[in-house]
Amino acid sequence: MRVDAKSFQACNCLTVRQAARHVTQFYDRFLALSGLRTTQFSILARLQEQGPMTINALAVNLVLERTTLGRNILPLERDGLIRIERAASDRRSKVIRITKRGERRLEDAFKRWVEAQARFESAFGRGRASDLRSLLGAVTATELGGADAAF
């Protein structure tokens, strides 16, 4: 069976992944001077916003595979931006918390993120950017990626 080029061009997954890579590269250029990548910025921001959480909970919260999260937290821990500790309630679980150094780095990165956000909305349109976030949020809220999804 031969792949139909028109069908492939209409692939939702490919289009979303291409857009995600494009936007990630854009934000990474702004965040570079802070020493953070977009995913690391998101990790620190989520920890500051919601407080310490287990590695598994953070992975679910950010819609990341646990191994991907693991690769992203190693440099954050090495640089003293987060601390990983055994959970008091379950010694098998590990809890991640942002450190004071991490909060300072996040504050610096946030200024750069604000500029990236403004440039994105200027180029794409504020209303369209808001609509895009709503639509993509709705996609994330579906059960498409759930472990119990029927195939």
Indicate if the pLDDT at residue 149 is higher than 60: no
Give the per-residue pLDDT at 144: 78
Q: What is the pLDDT of residues 48-95, one digit of tens each?
A: 999 999 999 999 999 999 999 999 999 999 999 999 998 777 777 889
Give the per-residue pLDDT at 72: 92
Indicate if the pLDDT at residue 148 is higher than 60: no
Among 6-10, 53-57, 99-103, the least confident range: 6-10
- Rounded CA-CA distance 59/68 in Å is 9
Higher pLDDT, 77 or 3: 77
DSSP helix, strand, coil percent of the chain (3-state; round to 5): 70, 10, 25
Indicate if the pLDDT at residue 43 is higher than 60: yes
